[in-house]
């Protein structure tokens, strides 16, 4: 069972959000990294065994059991270099392409899509495992991977807007990180 919103807000107010988030995401430790992609500017990551996830369009659809959907900046890093970054969706895959004709949302047209494809060629789905999880006081997370790489999600906006969410496929509960909005005045 995932923590409810009252528990989430209480942890945030008490400065314990990092502990709560780490506790929720510890279930990813030992799970294989299976999916990485995007829908428009929302990035998605999948971990764990494939399970049935039927939709109206595809009754045979399967996907990784654990999901992270990121609406905040995301990076996949080596210890000394960034491999993939969410803002790469706004960079043409072809450096000589005119920015006037660049359609960032066309599949494969941007650096993010090309970089993710290259990542999967070097690290086939399931060959990399989550080894560690940590979180900070404002909902940022880092997943340490068995290759020495890390996945980092970091909230970068104020106001009531979703940063990221965790959920299990076919589960009704979602753990959603929204920013704590200070009371000005």
Domain spans in the chain, listed from the N-terminal domain onward: 5-80+125-177
pLDDT-derived band of residue 181, with 50, 70 and 90 as boundaries? Answer: low
Instruction: State percent of the chain over pLDDT 90.
Output: 68
Separation of alpha carbons 21 and 7, rounded Å: 11
pLDDT (0 to 100) of residue 47: 98
Helix residue ranges, H only, the chain: 5-13, 17-25, 111-122
Question: pLDDT, tens digit, for every residue of 133-158?
Answer: 999 988 999 999 999 999 999 998 87
Average confidence (pLDDT) over 90-115: 89
Q: 């709560």: which residue's tokens?
A: 20
CA-nearest of 2, 37, 29, 39 to 142 is 29
19-57 residue pLDDT tens: 989 999 999 999 999 999 999 999 999 999 999 998 899
pTM of the predicted model, to two decimals? Answer: 0.89
pLDDT confidence of residue 11: 76
């Amino acid at each position: 069972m995932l923590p409810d919103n009252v528990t989430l807000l209480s942890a945030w107010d008490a400065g314990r959000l990092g502990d709560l988030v780490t506790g929720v995401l510890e279930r990813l430790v030992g799970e294989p990294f299976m999916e990485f992609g995007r829908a428009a500017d929302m990035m998605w990551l999948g971990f764990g065994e494939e399970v049935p996830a039927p939709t109206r369009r595809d009754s045979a659809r399967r996907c990784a059991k654990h999901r992270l959907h990121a609406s905040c900046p995301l990076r996949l890093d080596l210890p000394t270099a960034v491999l993939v970054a969410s803002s790469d969706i706004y960079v043409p895959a072809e450096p000589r392409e005119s920015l006037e004709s660049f359609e960032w949302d066309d599949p494969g047209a941007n650096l993010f899509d090309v970089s993710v494809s290259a990542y999967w060629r070097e690290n086939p789905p399931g060959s990399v495992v989550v080894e560690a999880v940590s979180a900070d006081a404002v909902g940022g997370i880092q997943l340490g991977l068995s290759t020495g790489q890390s996945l980092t999600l970091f909230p970068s906006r104020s106001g009531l807007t979703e940063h990221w969410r965790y959920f299990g496929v076919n589960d009704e509960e979602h753990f959603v990180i929204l920013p704590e909005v200070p009371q000005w005045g």
